[in-house]
Structure 1
């Protein structure tokens, strides 16, 4: 199973990728929506973990773009400061909506559920 992590916080997204790889996941990361679109255009992913608030393209907007490219892609949203509206929009279009800082055990559990593992 291949996972794409998208968050504008470089240290967070690289650390999450590393921690997920230690748990057996094939996790790649990028720091912008534009990079995520390019990755999904060239590689197949099973799940995307998206930060809700990012510059230029929000995670909510990015989900819509990525679904056009790969309709079977599953989504988990992460947010450190999302609004109630973001929560409802994000949770309706994702397998899960988690608040940062997220415990790796909780994220792994949600990944397994989203991927049916």
Structure 2
């Protein structure tokens, strides 16, 4: 896959062993991965990276996964966010979706399932960006008198 068009994933998890292994597995499958170990760092890095999809752990010290999700979506409403958790509850799943998560997966995560969710999230983001561009062109054409 051409790295210029590779899906860029922000991986946010406080477990360094998990993040290291998952980064390697995703990169082996052609994704570009930016790894951070806390929500604060994810929020700080989102501005200087062209991230397509964020994969965020729910339970982290400092700002937790839901708070990280909220802050990421405030800065980048177009960002697709997938939540991961080792402690799934219906309440936390509903809470994540309410704040804009596109999916909610349990650890240990099935890599094939995660890859499929990332692929679908990137596709949705690309479609949304294409629609936004088309809408902007229509607006410009309507506002010009030529």
* Higher relative contact order structure (alpha carbons within 8 Å, sequence separation ≥ 6): 1
Superposed CA RMSD:
1.3
- List gaps (5 residues or longer) in structure 2: 1-6, 125-146
Number of residue-to-residue matches in the alignment? 117
| Residues 1:102 and 2:109 aligned together | yes
Q: Is contact 1:76–1:94 with CA below 8 Å preserved after alignment?
A: yes
Q: Distance in 2 between matches of 1:96 and 1:20?
A: 18
Alpha-carbon distance in structure 1 between the residues aligned to 2:97 and 2:76: 19
With normalisation by structure 2, the TM-score equals: 0.76
1:40 corresponds in structure 2 to 46
1:83 CA drift (Å): 2.8
Please give the residue correspondences for 1:65-84 in structure 2 after superposition, counting only pairs within 5 Å.
Answer: 65-84=71-90
Does 2:66 align with 1:60?
yes
Distance 1:38 1:70 in 2: 12
